Amino acid sequence: MFSKDKNIQRLLETAHGLSDISSASAVLAWDQEVYMPIKGGPARAKQMATMAGMFHNNLINLQIPNVKSKNIYDLALVREMKKLKAKATKIPEKLIKEISEAASLAQQSWQLAKQKKNFGLFATSLEKILKLKIQAAKLLKTKHQSIYDAMLDEFEPGLTEKQVDYVFLALKPKLIKLAKKLKFLTLNADKNIVNKKYDLITQCKFGLKIASAMGYDQEAGRLDTSAHPFTITFSNCDVRITTWKNKKDIRPSLFAIIHESGHALYEQGVDPRLDRLQIGEGGGLGGGIGMAMHESQSRLWENIIGRSEWFWQKYFSSLKSQFPNLKKISLKQFIKAINVVKPSLVRVEADEVTYGLHIMIRYEIEKDLVAGKTKVRDLPKIWNAKYKEYLGMTPKNDAKGVLQDIHWSHGAFGYFPTYLLGTLISAQLWKKMPKTTDLRVLREWLRKNIHQFGRIYTTDELLKKITGETLNPKYFLEYLEQKFQRLYR
């Protein structure tokens, strides 16, 4: 893989050290969201800020050699390390530590605000983290980038606001039209499975059974619950997922587990020789290319595979045996129930058609936040107005509205568009994947064509390598039309 060149070997050694610091910080972040007691918050924020400063200091002092190698792995390593150092040298350590501490505290205030259903409890923290992230983006952006472009680049390298606008503006009217049509065709198809009692422990056990069938290695991971489902990677052999609780509906926890397992398969599937090369959030060679490709994996498993009839032909009898409430439900009824199209308030519980509208709402709001066109204190009002406009619904409280996602508390402005871009990519990949119901064959195809490479290739390079073209939304629209025509005639 990597050459024996002494400069490359020295750079690898340094990269491994940076990865170790990054992973140690990630353990603190995971614990904060899963197990940390409430009173541990302020001290944890300081700890994470110290780790961020240590990481940053090591990065700016990194020595990157001139390498004449033609080895693609050598070249990719040098390229990614140069990027990391270039970004680090633009931001002072003081600001790095401020962002880390502010994000940690903001995440804690977000949790409290969501529990209390009161955005006001989170507003000050959000104002602070937004201000700091804008400050950083101004330092990072090139002369050809907007501030928001620099934020997008953190999650999908090279992505621009203009590119997102171009895709979303073309897609929006088609999704709205299709959602209106399918809303009536799928009406009440889920009435037999909602508002029942589903044991929480059994939900997790069954979810893990599905995750294992997908290929998630439980000896290299674990499942916990958190305020918002997520996947976190410490190494190829330690990729953890979380889900959340819903006693009255089987779908939220189950599909969260499938979604997060899709992310985890990507991380566990990276070539082991690239382990300890995942550096920071989206840096180095050891993780996924960017969040668009990462989300394509989770959305592919969650929706295209996980909501298909052939998938549940394998597991429905087992599901029924675990949950007596489903005893009288037929496979056909269940498939329709997990594929209902209807306006909803919560993004992660949205159907495949309206999901894109949830993302567009967030994209439009955060663009205006970053540009100064919207004030943080006005967010609940703006959020509610957009939900009324796009989905015909108004949240009854902030927990079901502007507080439902954790991302802004982390300072993750620019992340949301990758969910929809990833959804589009998933359909494009599906067109090229083997036509089989064997999950092992599907997983190995993904591993061979995507996972193993880590960040060696860019999203566009890999997509073109696999499908012969860059992102093309037509495959997603074709997939939706064909699927719902088959289900609802």
- Give the pLDDT confidence of 382-435 residue by residue, as tens digits: 999 999 999 999 999 999 999 999 999 999 999 999 999 999 999 999 999 999
CA gap 351, 341 in Å, rounded: 6
What confidence category does residue 67 fall into, taking pLDDT thresholds of 50, 70 and 90? confident
Nearest to 84 by CA among 61, 50, 104, 54: 61
Architecture of domain 161-488: Orthogonal Bundle (1.10)
pLDDT in the model for residue 76: 92
Nearest to 309 by CA among 329, 333, 325, 326: 333
Instruction: Give the integer Cα–Cα distance in Å for 446 and 449.
Output: 5
The yes-or-no answer on residue 260 being catalytic is yes
3-state secondary structure 354-406: CHHHHHHHHHHHHHHHHHCCCCHHHHHHHHHHHHHHHHCCCCCCCCCCCCCCC
Closest CA to 451 of 268, 218, 258: 268
460's tokens: 């566009």
- Contacts of residue 468, defined as CB under 8 A and 6 or more positions apart, other chains included, come to none
User: What distance in Å separates the CA atoms of residue 255 and residue 306, rounded to the nearest whole number?
Assistant: 8
User: How far apart, in whole angstroms, are the C-alpha atoms of residue 81 and residue 285?
Assistant: 9
Domain regions of the chain by residue span: 6-144, 161-488
End-to-end CA distance of the chain: 51
For the stretch 236-289, pLDDT in tens is: 999 999 999 899 999 999 999 999 999 999 999 999 999 999 988 778 888 889
What are the Cα distances from residue 274, in Å, to 244, 278, 285, 287, 480? 31, 8, 6, 8, 36
Catalytic residue among 98, 156, 260, 267: 260
Nearest alpha carbon to residue 462 among 12, 69, 76: 76
Q: Which residue in this structure is represented by tokens 């171009």? A: 166
> Residue 111: which pLDDT band, with cuts at 50, 70 and 90?
very high
Cα separation, 102 vs 98, whole angstroms: 6
State the pTM of this model: 0.94
What's the rounded Cα separation, in Å, for the pair 72 and 316? 45
| Structure-block tokens of residue 411 | 């300072």
Per-residue model confidence as pLDDT tens digits over 429-456: 999 999 999 999 999 999 999 999 999 9
pLDDT of residue 222: 96
Walk across the sheet containing 238-243 and list its strands. 223-225, 238-243, 231-235
Give the Cα-Cα-Cα angle 351, 281, 143 (nearest 5 degrees). Answer: 95
